[in-house]
């Protein structure tokens, strides 16, 4: 299920949005201030952020700026009563993907959310990595990452199954010459090339940490 983090301190608007989004199949976590939203973003994985700007403790723009600096590329829609060009510009400079001015029709918001989440259906994220399953391409911090076919396919398999392990037999099928030694060597190269941690699960296979 698509999960949304909503940062909104207006109780009436937040109640309306949560009810509407849940009705349309989204799970919504509510944060009433920027610091609470920051904590939730670290504790959970979200499909999309929906941030108001003028909220207590930490503004939506400042929060988004910090998240982007931490390599969090989760699509973000700013919702705000601020309609001046300066405020809109600050939102996009901070890393917003869209900006919706209050008051707005919940249906319009839903359309914008669907546009962002539909695009993500073929994308998988792991830390600062992003995999386009459709194109079978890997990106690190938004920049293309080039690996040989074997290591690329191993990494895609590990990320697709994260946090669960991938059984050894499945990984073997991705090798040119499937042997235990070849698998261990390619896993070791993958760990070194990407500076990631891959754990061997005895009798099962491998998993990302």
Longest dimension (CA), the chain: 62
Round to whole Å and give the CA distance between 6 and 11.
12
Looking at residue 1, its pLDDT comes to 59
* Tens-digit pLDDT profile for residues 140-156: 888 888 888 899 889 98
Q: Which of 38-52, 77-91, 176-190 has the lowest mean pLDDT?
A: 77-91
Q: Residue 115 above 80 pLDDT?
A: no
- Whether 5 contacts 41, CB under 8 Å: yes
* Tens-digit pLDDT profile for residues 54-69: 888 888 888 888 888 8
Round to whole Å and give the CA distance between 146 and 138.
7
Q: What is the mean pLDDT of residues 183-200?
A: 92
Looking at residue 181, its pLDDT comes to 93
> Domains plus CATH for the chain?
3-121 (3.40.50.2300), 127-208 (1.10.10.10)
Reported confidence tier of residue 183, pLDDT bands at 50, 70, 90: very high
Q: What is the mean pLDDT of the chain?
A: 85
- Whether 188 contacts 153, CB under 8 Å: no
């Amino acid at each position: 299920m698509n999960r949304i983090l909503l940062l909104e301190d207006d109780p009436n608007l937040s109640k309306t949005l949560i009810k509407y989004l849940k009705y349309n199949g989204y799970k919504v976590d509510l944060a009433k201030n920027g610091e609470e939203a920051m904590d939730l973003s670290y504790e959970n994985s979200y499909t999309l952020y929906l941030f108001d700007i003028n909220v207590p403790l930490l503004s939506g723009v400042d929060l988004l700026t910090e998240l982007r600096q931490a390599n969090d590329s989760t699509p973000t829609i700013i919702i705000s009563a601020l309609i001046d060009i300066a405020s809109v510009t600050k939102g996009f400079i901070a890393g917003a993907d869209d900006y919706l001015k209050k008051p707005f029709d919940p249906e319009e918001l839903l359309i914008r959310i669907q546009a962002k989440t539909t695009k993500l259906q073929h994308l998988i994220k792991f830390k600062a990595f992003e995999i386009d399953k459709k194109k079978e391409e890997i990106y690190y911090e938004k920049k293309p990452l080039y690996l040989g076919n074997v290591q690329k396919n191993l990494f895609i398999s590990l990320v697709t199954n994260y946090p669960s392990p991938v059984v050894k037999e499945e990984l073997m099928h991705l090798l040119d010459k499937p042997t235990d030694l070849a698998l261990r060597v390619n896993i070791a190269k993958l760990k070194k090339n990407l500076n990631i941690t891959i754990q061997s699960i005895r009798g099962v296979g491998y998993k990302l940490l």
